[in-house]
Structure formats: structure tokens, C-alpha cells
Structure 1
Amino acid sequence: MIKVIIGFNRKPGMGIQEFRDYRRNIHAPMLFAIPEAKKIRRFVVSYPIETQGSEKPGFDAVVEAWFDTVEDMDGLFLSENFVTKVDPDHDNFIDMSSIVRLVCEEIVVVE
């Protein structure tokens, strides 16, 4: 199983709730409307919460997406639909200079 983890911050001037609402109600439906998104096996968005003694989080959100193979992942992210329809929308809610992307082979230790 291949997993991509992407951490990012909202664009400057955008409130946290506006950022979350945009990602959930506008961007996510746009992504899942393209046929190549069927290659995603699991998709999770995590938002940091404040806890006593915790440091300020480095990101406003972290996305995790699982794929069967690297080819399936590339089939989504390199597709014309993603490149022309989904990717340009990131500018509307993400600080593009904040993006950190990690492609991993996931090995489950405990379930």
C-alpha cells in the first residue's frame, strides 16, 4: 500500500473555518468528481487540535491518501483532469509555499 501525506497551511488572510469549509464543500467534491479519484483507496483529512502543553502546529491540515501502487497515485496526480481542474483550485485556499509532501510505503504495525 502506498500513502501520500501532504501537510499545508491556509492561504494568508483566510480564517480557519473558511479554510476548512472551502476544502470540504468545494475542493473535495471537485477532486472526487474526476474519474481518476477512484484510484484512491482511503482519504483522510486531519486538523490539529490544541492540547495542554502542545506546541503550535506546523500545519493547518494534513491529508493522507492511500493507493494500491505508485502507478495508481501517479495516475491521479498526473492526469489531465487533476492537472487542469483540481490542482489549480489549491491556490484558492492553500498557501502553496507551505506544502510538504511525503510518499510512503505504509506498513501497519497495530490495527
Structure 2
Amino acid sequence: MATLWLGLVRLLAGFRRGLRDPEFRAILFLLAIAMTGGAVFFHAVEGWQWIDAAYFSAMALTTVGDATLSPTTAIAKIFTMLFSISGIGLMLAFLSRLSTFRERYDDRKDQE
């Protein structure tokens, strides 16, 4: 259990450190725009509740997927394909930058 907490502390410290980096903030902003845009689209086109639309957007961007929700209209299916292809790259860029700042945090702790 201690390892889990230590990992979360390191992750949050890396996130905090990343917020000082303009590139990290830009990626985070674009990710927020993608999540919001996806939620608005799915709410409007599919008629889903806001929480379901946001949930599906997160699932599509992280490649987790969920069989309980799926687009039913042709335009929503096309949007989901394009949304996922472009958004997955954005999510990978975010996670890559986050891991860089987490590693820097670990390196500094080892030097102390």
C-alpha cells in the first residue's frame, strides 16, 4: 500500500513540476479542449447525458474503450474514428511529458 501512495505522490509532484513547463501546459490545454469538444459533440449528436459524453470521450482518448456506450449515428462513428486517431496522439504526448517530469523528480530525490 505504501508503494501505491509513493507512486501517487511522485505522479502528482511530476504533474506540479510539469505545470511550470509551457509545452506541458499547451498539451494539457489541447487535451482539455479535445475532451470538452468530444463531450459537447456526443451530448449534441447522440443525446447522451453530459457525464456519459465526457466518460466516452475519456475512454476514446485513452484507448480503454467501453462496450456499454457506443455511437449509433454514422456521423458520430466517423467523428469517433477521427477523434480517437488524433486524440490518442495527444494523450500519448501528455503522458510522455508527464513521465519526463516524474523521472526528473525521482532523479532529484536520489541526489539528495
TM range (shorter): 0.3 to 0.5
1 or 2, which has the higher strand percentage? Answer: 1
1 or 2, which has the higher helix percentage? Answer: 2
TM-score under structure 1 length normalisation = 0.32
Greater C-alpha radius of gyration = 2
Q: Which has the higher contact order (CA 8 A, sep 6+)?
A: 1
TM-score under structure 2 length normalisation = 0.32
